Amino acid sequence: MHKIVFVTSNNGKFNEARSILGAKKIELLQNTEGYPELQEDDLEPIASFGAKWVAEKLQIPVMVDDSGLFINALNGFPGPYSAFVENKIGNKKILRLMEDEEDRTAYFKSVIGYCEPGNDAVVFTGIVKGLISFEERGSGGFGYDPIFEYNGRTFAEMSSEEKNKYSHRKRALEKFFEWLSSQR
């Protein structure tokens, strides 16, 4: 079984990625040390920088994930600042910002960064489009899952197995796996 170190302190991200890649015979090992995050408007340079930084620091191949919720009516907010915003104001205040908005379209974006020491990082992007619900629904998932609706249900209303069929992270990890398989 191929092993990869996934650098994240987010256990929800780690468990999702471990489940998705485990089905592909890739074992993920979690490292929670973290890395400095660039302040950028796009997730790709953040994931690329983070993967390169950690690969050089640890001197092993690593994977990182930078993800965000992009709400169209809020000009893409919270986007690359999603974790910070979720920690500071949470889902209820995001819903309050959306109270008078007719356009409830949004998308989740996940960027997987992978790097081996001495090489440039490669990134893989996955997007899933949905809507911002009118209230929090469901008890599963983490982060914005209770307010992100896909095909009539929030991610928090789905089992982790069901969410992993559709999620932005699944789509990015599929691209990563295809690339990784072509490298062997």
Q: Assess contact for 141 and 158: CB atoms under 8 A.
A: yes
Strand ranges of the sheet holding 148-150, from the earlier edge strand across to the other edge = 26-31, 2-7, 62-71, 105-115, 122-132, 148-150, 153-154
Residue with token string 């020491």: 117
Catalytic residues: 66
DSSP secondary structure string, 45-93? HHHHHHHHHHHHHHTS-EEEEEEEEEEGGGTT-BGGGHHHHHHHTHHHH
